[in-house]
Amino acid sequence: MQVALEVNGSPHEVEVQAGEALSTVLRDRFELTGTKVACGEGTCGSCTVVLDGRAVLSCLTLAAACDGASVRTVEWDGELLSRLRDAFTAEDGFQCGFCTPGQLMSALALLERSPAPSRDEIIAAMSGNLCRCGAYEGIALAVARAAGDGA
């Protein structure tokens, strides 16, 4: 089936299979490999993208269901995402970096809907993203820093 998507601000039409995941389309058709797939079951958050303003797990999201949607990946060139990247670096919000794209996209969705989140809101919004290195404190500080830098 033919699906129309806006990906990182650019319109696209792509042929997808009925059961094909959005993560597969992003990685294989658009070569946006920043979207990571680790578990493939929606438990780790590494595949998180922003779909129509919400953080979603792209490994569980059917591409066919995204017709007409706007998708942003970690490759998106936006000012808020740039602030988040800088804050993750400043606060050591990553170690190995594998989970970082998903963490960044969850943080982006949070800050777009709540520009000045409390620590509890940050923890709740980031809770779907696992970090095997245990950089959770740095991640929380990075999100708070990015929120503060925008004030």
- Spans of all domains in the chain: 2-72, 79-149
pTM for this one? Answer: 0.95
| For range 123-137, the mean pLDDT | 94
Distance, CA of 12 to chain centre: 19
Residue 146, pLDDT > 60, answer yes
Dist. CA 46–CA 128, nearest whole Å: 9
Q: How many beta carbons lie within 10 A of that of residue 65, not counting itself?
A: 11
* CATH topology (fold) of 79-149: DNA polymerase; domain 1 (1.10.150)
> Which 3 state secondary structure label does DSSP give 30?
coil
Q: For residues 40 and 54, which has the higher predicted lDDT (pLDDT)? A: 54
Residue where the block lists tokens 């079951």: 41
pLDDT category of residue 94 using cuts at 50, 70 and 90: confident
Residue range 2-72 forms a domain whose CATH class is alpha beta
97-119 tens-digit pLDDT: 899 999 999 999 999 999 999 99
Q: What share of the chain in percent tops pLDDT 70?
A: 98
The predicted structure's pLDDT at residue 151: 44
The helices-and-strands tally (H runs, E runs) of the chain is 5, 5
